[in-house]
Structure 1
Amino acid sequence: MQLGTPDNDAFFGSFNPNLFQALTGADNLIGGENSDTFNGNENNDFIDGNKGDDLLFGGKNRDIVLGNTGQDTIYGNRGRDSIHGREDNDLMNGNENNDFVEGGKGDDSLFGGKANDTILGSKGDDSAYGNLGDDTVCGNDGRDFLSGNEGNDIIDGCEGNDTIYGGKDDDTLIGCGGEDVLYGDLGDDSLIGGTGNDVFVLGENLGFDVIVDFKQGEDAIALVGGLTFEQLTIVGDNNNSLIQLKTDGRAIASLTGVDASLINVRDFR
C-alpha cells in the first residue's frame, strides 16, 4: 500500500493493481490498467479509477469520483460528492450528505444514502434507490427500477419502461416516456404516467394517491393486497373521480379530470 502525504498528492497507477491511501491534502488519484483501491480520505479529491474493476472511496469533503471502464464499486462517504460510474455495470453509494450519483453506461446499482441526493441512471437497465432524505431520481434510458425509499422524493422514469416505487412519505412519481408501473406505496403521492400505457398501483393500506393523467383505454389500475374492484365505490368529486373503500368510505385515490360514471371494471386489473 502506498500512503499519501499531508500535501496535495498526485498518484498515477501502473499496470499492476494499486492501493493508495491519501491523507489530508486535495489529491488527484488516477488508476492504471488493473483493479485499484483508492481512498481520498480528507479534503476535496479527484479520483479516477481508469481501467479495471476498482474500489473507490471519496472520504471526507467534496470529492469527484469517476469509475471509468470496468465494474467499479464507489462510495462517496462523507461530504457532498459527485460520483460517476461511466462504463460497465457499477455499484455506487453516495453515503452521507447531498450527493450527485450518475450511472453512465451499463446496468448500474445506485444508492443515494443519507441526505438529499440527485441520482441519474443514464443508459442501461439500472436500479436506483434514494434511501434517506428528499431525493430526486431519474432513470433515463433503459428498463429501470426506481425507489425513493424514505423522504419526500421526486422520481422520474424519463425514457424506457420503468417500475417506480415511492416508498415512505409523500412522493411525486413520473413515468414520462414508455410503459411504466407507478407504485406510490406509503404516503400521499402524486402519480403522473406520461406517454405510453401505464399501470397505477393502489392498495387498501398504501395512503392516498392522486393520479394526474389517467387515460381510459390506455392506462390501467392494479389492485394489490387482496383488494378487488367489488370492494370499491367510484364517486364524482368536482370533475374528478374518487376511488373509495366500501367498508369505511375512505378514499384511496383520485383520478384528475375523469368522469366517475365512465370508470368501470375494465379499467382495473
Structure 2
Amino acid sequence: MTTPTRVAAGLLTSVLAVAGLSACSGDDGGGGSTKADSWSDAGAKAKQLLDDTSGIEVSLSTGDDPGTDYLSSASGTIVADPPAFEGTVAGRVSGFEASSIDVISVDGTLWINAPILGWTDQYQPADLCAPDPAKLLDPATGVATVLTSSTGVKAGKSERGGTDNKEIFHTYAGTATGDSIRAILPCAEGDEFEATYRLDDDGYLRTARLTGVFFKDSEPLTYTIDVTKYDVTKDISAPK
C-alpha cells in the first residue's frame, strides 16, 4: 500500500470510528417543547427524533493531540433512505498529516478519494474494523442506541448557545459504555466514555462531548460533535 493510500485508509478508519458516535447529537428541527424530567425520558425522545429524521448534517473536532494517529476533524451528511454518507475528514496517520479527504458510502460500497490515486473502493468497513457510515441512522443497529444505553446520566445546568446565543440548552452528563460503542465499533479501546449532552427545548440533542480512548495506543481525547441540521434530504451517488 502506498503512503498516500495508507493515510487515506487510516483516516477513513478514524472517521468511521468517531462517526459511529457522531450521530448521537442533533438538530435544528421541530419536536416537543419542554425539558424531560429524566434522562430516561430525554434520551428516549432524542433517539426517537433521530430515528425519524430523513438525514443529518454533522461536524466534529478535537483540540487534543493524543500523540498517535487520530482524526482531528470531520464533517458530512448522513441520509437514512436510501442509506448514504458523504463527507470530508482530516487528521494524522503514520506520522503524516492529511486534510480534505473525501469519503462517500452509497449502495453498500465505501469510496475514499485517496491522494494521488483518486477515488477507490478497495477498502471496505469490514476490512477497517469500522461501521459503514451510511447505516449509522438505522434505528435498530445504528448509533442512537448509544443514547439510551448511557448510564448514570444526570441533568445539569441550562446554558445559552446557538445563533447569537439566543437558545437555551439543557445539559446532561453521564457515561457512554464501552460495550454500547463497541456494538458499532468493535475496535474501540475504552471501557467507558465520559459524555455530556446538550438538548434544546424541542428535545433534540444538539451537541455531544465525548472523552475516552478512541484509538489504539493513544491518550484519551475529547471530541465535540455538533449536528447542525436535521431533516436533511440529499442525493448522494458514487463518484464517477
TM-score by length of 1: 0.20
TM-score by length of 2: 0.22
Decide which structure has greater helix share.
Answer: 2
RCO higher in 1 or 2 (8 Å CA, sep ≥ 6)?
A: 2
